[in-house]
Amino acid sequence: MSVISAVGVSMIYVPQPIQTLAAGELGVQLAQSSAPTVAVQAGYAVGVVFLVSLGDRIAPRLQVSVQLAVTAAAVLVAAAAGSFALLTVMMFVAGAAATVGQILVSAALRLAPPEVRARTAAVLVGSFLIGLFGVRTLLGAFAESLGWRTVLVGAAVLVAACVPLTLGFAPSTRPPASVGYRAILASIPRIVGGSRDLRLLTVTHALAFSAFISVWSMVTLYGVGELGLSVAQTAAIGLAGLVGGAATVASARVQPLIGTRRALPASLAALIVGAALIALLSHSVPAVVAGLFLVSFGMSSSQVSSQANALASVDPAESGRANTVFMATTFLASSGATAVAAAIMRPAGYAGVGMLALALGAASLCVGLVAGRRA
C-alpha cells in the first residue's frame, strides 16, 4: 500500500518541475507558469471531499483501481495538451483522482491496532514524501533532455502500473457503512462539530503543509530564475525532500516511544528552523537545501502526530470522513498558499517565500500547542 500511495500522491507534484518548460512551449510568461501547480492542489482538495468519503462505503481495492485509471488518463491528455489552459484543467482532474493515498491511509488506520497507528502513519506519510520527491526529481532531471510531454507519458505509465498492484494487495473488504453517499457527505459537519481534536489538529496540519508547499512550489522558479540553474540541476534540490521522507520512515519506531503529543511541537520546531534558513540565507544553496530538508521532515513528522490523533478522535466507521476534513482543509489551504507564494516570489524572491513559510509554521505551532493543552 505504501508504493501505491507514494505513486498516487506524487502526481500532485508533477507540474512543479516541468511548469517552466511547458509555459515556454505554450506561450505563457514565467510568472504565470504556476497555474497547473495551483490547479492540481485544488483538484486534490476537491477529490478528498467527494471521493475519500466514499472510502467509508466502497472497498478500497475497487475505488483505488478506478481512480488510478482516471489519473493515468488525465496525465496522458495533459501530455498531449495544445494549450496551457488544457494542461491546467487536466492537472486539476489528475489531482482530484490522485487521492488514492488518503483512501489507503484511512483504511490502514481503521484496521491498525491503536498501539501501532502512529508507526503505520509514519511509514505511509514517509512513503508519500519518498514517492513524490523521487518522481519529482526524476521528472525534472529528464524533462529538458526528453521533453516535458515525454516525462508526463512516463508518469502516466507509472500510475497505470499500480493498478495490478492495487488489485493484488489493497484491502478488498467493504467498510461497514450502512448509509448512502449523500448521507455520508451530510454527516461531515456533525463529525467536525463533535471533535475538538479533529478541528484543531486539522488547522495545525493545514498551516504546516501550507508552509511546506509554499517553499517547494517555488523551487523551480528559484533555481531557474534566481540561481540561473537548468531545470535538471534544480531537480537535484528535490533530493532534500526525498531524504526528509526517508527520515520520517526511519523515525516510525520513535514516535510511539515519545508520544505523538510531544512529537508534534518538536516536529513543527524543525519546520520553523528550516523556513528560517530559507528566509535568511536564500543566497546560499547549501542553507536552502538544509532548510528544505527540515521543512519536509518537520511537516511529514508533524502529520504523523496530527493525522493519527485526529482520526482516532472519531468513530472508526467515520474515519474516511474525518480524513476528508483533515486533507481537504489541508489542500484548500495549500492551494491558496501556493498562489500567495507565487505573488510574493515576484517582488520579494525566494527569501520572501521563506518568510511566508516561517509565519505559517509559527501559526501551526501555536495551534498545535493549544490542541495539546486541550487533550
Question: What tens digit of pLDDT does each residue of 40-83 get?
Answer: 988 988 898 888 888 778 888 899 999 999 999 999 999 999 99
Confidence at residue 175, expressed as pLDDT on a 0 to 100 scale: 67
Q: What is the mean pLDDT of the chain?
A: 88
Model confidence at 86: pLDDT above 60: yes
Number of domains into which the chain is organized: 1
Confidence at residue 177, expressed as pLDDT on a 0 to 100 scale: 57
The model carries a pTM of 0.81
The candidate with the shortest Cα–Cα distance to 261, out of 212, 308, 318, is 308
Higher per-residue pLDDT: 258 or 84? 84
Q: Which of 163-167, 314-318, 350-354, 369-373 has the lowest mean pLDDT?
A: 314-318
Percent of all residues in the chain with a pLDDT value above 70, rounded to a whole number: 94
Identify the CATH number of the domain in which residue 255 sits: 1.20.1250.20
Question: What tens digit of pLDDT does each residue of 244-282 get?
Answer: 888 887 876 776 677 767 889 999 999 999 999 999 999
Confidence at residue 142, expressed as pLDDT on a 0 to 100 scale: 86
Confidence at residue 112, expressed as pLDDT on a 0 to 100 scale: 65
Question: What tens digit of pLDDT does each residue of 153-180 get?
Answer: 999 999 999 999 999 888 777 766 557 7
Question: What tens digit of pLDDT does each residue of 288-310 get?
Answer: 999 999 999 999 999 988 988 89
Percent of all residues in the chain with a pLDDT value above 90, rounded to a whole number: 48
- Residue 356: give the domain boundaries: 2-374
